Structure 1
Amino acid sequence: MAARVAACTACHGEQGRAGADGYYPRLAGKPQDYLYQQLLHFRDGDRIYRPMTHLLAPLPDAYLYEIAGYFAAQHAPYPAPARGPASSSLLERGRMLTQQGDPARDVPACVACHGARLSGLAPAIPGLLGLPRDYIGAQIGSWRGDLRRAAEPDCMAEVSKRLTPEDVAAVAAWLSSLPVPEPYAPEAAASLTLPLACGSQTFPMPVAGGAQ
């Protein structure tokens, strides 16, 4: 499988550690179900990035699930956070939104779904640490602009559209400034009561022996 995913690691780095340019995210250690769903979304046009769609177009569901499993099993170390310029007020706003949300605008805290350690929630909610600032901002922006979609009900689309551009900048700055604790793994399924329904958590996986 390591040889078969060479097209992936050419951009996402050895073992899926992340691309050097800050745009291609880390794949290593993310939940298999989450990675599988992203591969499907790229292949089927729910997440728009033409090179990924072209690469995945001929691949069946079961094979994509194998690829997701390979990267989920990689546990390469995380680099230290690359702290960019950010004011103390921007970082504090990001911290507040991450830890407490904004109840007045019905914005849940990031930790409400991604866990107290921001390490994700099995089976399909990813961790948020170890990602570049620009990548985080771009992905939230993609949800806000309907360029990225997930299984319905799409909880991240709902939350993202409640955020202002200033909120997005603050959350991206705060999350990208944090070191990744070790061990860093998703919390157990059903260990959190989510503040809103997320279709990704109940998305069907391939049946054994072939695609659905």
Structure 2
Amino acid sequence: MLTIYGVYQSRASRVYWTALELGLDFESVPVIQTRRLPQPVAPDAPIHTHAAEFLAINPNGHIPAIADDGLVIDESLAITLYLARKHGGPIAADTLREEGEVLAWTFWAATEVEPHTVKIVFAYDDGLEATEGGRETISVARRMLKRPLTRLNDHLGENDYLTGGRFTVADLNVVEIIRYALSETDFMANYPAILAWVARCHERPAFREMMARRKAEG
């Protein structure tokens, strides 16, 4: 059986969403980020990313990770691509062309978008969004996002989804990275095609189920 290590309130959300889209049976091991624990070395501390038992799974000390029939993978985007490729179905690439586009969009989002959107979400997670430093961090991130988001908005102005005319793992990977910037409503209003695409992706039952589980974590 597939085992997913990580809490829903993390990049593991991508993996859980993918598993739900594919209708997979899986075991969830809720490994929490060490930075979220006030006393990670306490005897009663939950399993966390720097705990020895998790480092035996992923020596990098990050979530998510999966174990699947003896294979361990620990990069979230690699995991989603692997699961889609293994199990197929409509979210997987159907042709070599689609596979190339799925990979290209995924790597594009990881290199051109996430380094900036993650700074936004961390500013809010750390309660810094109203501080001078937090506002500057968010401002710089927004400025750096203008070029890639313009490209994405142009593409989605002519296509409902990123490739294949349907929702695929490419959309899942990219929209999860875009989600980090949705707090910036005035900024994102400049990209109406992206917002319409986000709404389409977020209407999916598997996304709604993932988010319900995420919210249940508290």
Would you say same fold, with TM above 0.5? no
Higher helix share: 2
Q: Give the greater-gyration-radius structure (CA).
A: 2
Compare relative contact order (CA 8 Å, sep 6+) and give the higher one, 1 or 2: 1
Higher strand share: 2
Band the TM-score falls in, shorter-chain normalisation = under 0.3
